[in-house]
Chain A
Amino acid sequence: MEALSYFLTAWIDPQLLFLVGLGTFAGIYIGAIPGLSVTMAVSILISFTFAWDVNNALCLMVGIFMGGVYGGSRTAILLNIPGAPSAIATALDGFPLARRGEAGEAIGIATVMSVLGGFVGIVALAVAAPFISEFALTFQPRDYMLLAILGILLVGSLSGESLAKGVVAGCLGLLIGTVGLDPLTAEERFTFGFVGMWNGISFIAVMIGLFGVSEALGQLQHVDTAAVKQKISRIVPSFDAVRKYLPLSLQSSSIGVIIGALPGVGGDIAALMAYDFAKRTTRNPEVPFGEGAKEGLVAPESANNAAVGGAFIPMLTLGIPGDAVTAIFLGALFIHGLNPGPMLMIEQPTMFWFMVGNLTLANLFLLVFGLTGIRIFTKIVEIPKGILIPLILLLSVVGAYAVNNAITDVYWMLGFGVLGYFMKLYGYQVGPVILGVILARLIDENWRRAIISEQESLGQFFARLFASPLSVSLFTLVVVLVLSQTPLWTWARRRRVRA
């Protein structure tokens, strides 16, 4: 009962209620603009809110987090530019839908599924937080490595018509991801002596270039074609549609919660994995994946918002950030004199339920703000190309610069924009490149950590792997996924069907 009163703190205080709403609203737009990230907004807020009461600061920050993760889908659907890394998978089927004039419906589904996913994350946080965080702690370096390999296998789903081209693009991404100071030894790799490259190539700059600029360049060829008229009759998805996608949404959300709760892995990987999961399990989608399948929208949008609740699980129970944004929340709690850690839940149960309450509230606001104003938003697609293309380029430049306040990132972004244009021209998908960049570090660091831990003995590495149930499950999953993509598998299945 006491928990309920903490939970409702922000619901009954008009000021806090307003701050959560304001945060959510602002978050949607921050998330929608590529390069303006939730991480950035929240860290700026920390110094602003230093003099504030801690509750006020947290309400605003929670709103921005929830809204921002969702907002990334807007530009992904309308312009094929993911506003945030967690919306990369959303662009894959969301943009084709907009091209068919169904942007309104796509945003409607994305909103409802985001809110659904958000609730799954919140419920997991409220009910199973201690259990999930203990589970997340058991992940060893080798398990992270296996997880990253599972991620690499997503290339199959992102390759478009040619797997070979997808693999080439993925390898390029892995290579880009290795640039910079070696995370383990601080040795320079592919930096050519430039200090500006020590930090590696900004992954956001690569993303904005490959998606945003290349899209703008590609559209230059069709400047004269009239924009697709958007159908705006149906925005809020019908009850039947929601019920139809509900199982997929729940499954994707579970993926999101677990991946979100793992320290160091966040909504971007969760969304891509959920997309892959949807693509593998959906039998007979109405429209093929990559051409505007609704399932391809439902899965990543549920997963990335579920990952928000997931990321709070280790943060509130153990004081370990689940991702970059919750790391800043931890900093904020410290500044405001609370000591986040395993004792927080015991000494300050108020804080836990207060956060759960805020997240729930932000999620409700998301539904309201997400479903209103869509009509105006979809008009963006109908803007004449002569105005829209320069606008995209401007947004891309501002976004790339804003990531690290570095002009170098703008050059990288433009370079990758040109590269992306030619890649698309020759049938190479840009998705696998991003996937490679995201996963390069994860796989590199954790493989080396794992083998260093076993004193560089491969035998011992496998001995330990097979002694751990978690590692064995992940390993089996990797093997099954690889085999299922070989001719051997199809042959075995055909035989079984005949027999």
Chain B
Amino acid sequence: MRQLLIGAAAALTLSAVPVLAEFPEKDIQGIIQWGAGGSTDTVMRAVTPAAEDVLGEDIVMTNRTGGVGAIATKFVQAQKADGYTLLMGAENPQLYKVMGLGDTDYSDFIPISILARGVPILVANADAPFGTFEEFVTYAQAHPGEVKIGSTGPGGLPSVITAMMTSQVDLPVTAVPYDGDGPALTALMGGAIDVMPAVLGAALENIRAGRIKALTVFETQANPVLPDVPPVTDAYPAFADYLPWGPFFGVFVKQGTPDDAVAALQAAYAEAAQQTDFGKLMDDRGYALMNMSGEEAVDFLNRWQSVTSWLVFDAGIAKRSPDDFGIPRP
């Protein structure tokens, strides 16, 4: 009798399988926050083909640019929470609240994978009259307002790093905004600006060619790609409170997506990010591979938001206080 019951139960389970078909059963849409050819785009287009192989369905990627990533974020939010629309984004939404750009952030999404993190460094024009971070600080203080520092608008990496620096030292520099780190680094080479905080990957080739020089890397240890560039904590140990910090790339789905879909996607991207090709691409571009998901990813997102929101707020470039949104001080 008992065996019969088990048999019946097994039969039931078996027959139930085709009804609850496995995710995914159709193409998945991937919405990229930034434009074609940019770093987010490059990372997503590099990692996704491997995830497609694992999932056995196509992931059709579209760039929906604009509004510092808000257009794509809102678009994905407006879709069904079924796991068939992925948000492929960068760090920007974590600052929307304090920058007055809306009430969305990644807490409205489930992280599938935080793929990688950029390593921030400070670079200078090759002819700049300073060669280290300390010399730069001394020079800037001796020539108030004369040193031009590149920026990419409030909330971008350069503005956060500048806020980090001004929270530790008196730094009377003039910030000149550009459309992105590409145009700003071009301006740095042409001498239109003198220094620029950037991600290591974007500046690496020009550092190697001697067109620009790296003053410091915003980490607690030197980066293996640039072993001779001292970490900022050598001269100013207090920076350690903010580190590790850096812009990141991640794949997200809307809150409320069924667990099996989340699990399938997480497994697919975790495997994809382990591919040697992808690892090499990240190394070459100077990104730290993270491949984080679940609780770990949520913790990372929260800490990132708290550190950065308070930094930009204390520097006076935020529109709203992080307190208004219950973002705790780190």
Spell out A's residues near B (CB within 8 Å): 39-40, 42-43, 46-47, 50-51, 137-141, 180-181, 183-186, 195-196, 198-200, 263-264, 318-321, 324, 327-331, 334-335, 337, 339-344, 404-406, 445, 449, 452-453, 455
Contact = CB atoms under 8 A, between A and B. Distances in A.
B186 A46 contact: no
B37 A452 contact: no
A184 B153 contact: yes
A199 B36 contact: no
Interface stretch (B20-28, B65-73, B253-261, B290-298): B65-73
A339 B192 contact: no
A95 to B, nearest CB: 31
21 contacts: A43-B36, A140-B192, A185-B154, A185-B177, A195-B67, A195-B70, A198-B70, A318-B186, A318-B189, A318-B211, A320-B182, A321-B182, A328-B37, A339-B204, A339-B284, A340-B205, A342-B206, A342-B209, A404-B66, A452-B175, A453-B148
Contact of A140 (B155, B177, B190): B190
B179 interface: yes
Given A138-B190, A198-B66, A318-B211, 7 more contacts: A137-B189, A198-B67, A334-B284, A334-B285, A337-B277, A341-B205, A404-B66
B38 A43 contact: no
B63 interface: yes
B45 A47 contact: yes
B119 to A, nearest CB: 16
A294 to B, nearest CB: 36
A47 B155 CA distance: 30
A47 B42 contact: no
A319 B42 CA distance: 15
A334 B42 contact: yes
Contacts of A330: 37
B176 A331 contact: no
Interface in B26-82: 36-38, 41-42, 45-46, 48-49, 61-68, 70-71, 74
A328 B285 contact: no
A331 B65 contact: no
Contacts of A47: 45, 48-49, 61
Contacts of A50: 45-46, 49
Interface residues of B, number: 56
Given A39-B36, A51-B49, A455-B174, A404 B67 contact: no
A344 B211 CA distance: 14
Q: Which 4 A-B pairs have the closest CB atoms?
A: A341-B205, A199-B66, A43-B36, A198-B67
A43 B41 contact: yes
Contact of B192 (A43, A180, A320, A453): A453
B243 to A, nearest CB: 26
B178 interface: yes
Nearest to A325: B37
A329 to B, nearest CB: 8
A320 B211 CA distance: 13
B7 interface: no
A445 B177 CA distance: 9
Given A335-B46, A342-B211, A404-B64, A449 B190 contact: no
B37 A43 contact: yes
B280 interface: yes
B37 A137 contact: no
A349 B256 CA distance: 52
A449 B190 CA distance: 14
B179 A319 contact: no
Interface string B138-177: 0000000110100001110000000000000000001111
Contacts of A455: 145-146, 174
B85 to A, nearest CB: 13
Contacts of A449: 176-178, 192
Given A46-B36, A327-B37, A449-B177, A334 B281 contact: yes
B190 A139 contact: yes
Nearest to A449: B176
B46 A199 contact: no
Contact of B71 (A186, A196, A453): A196
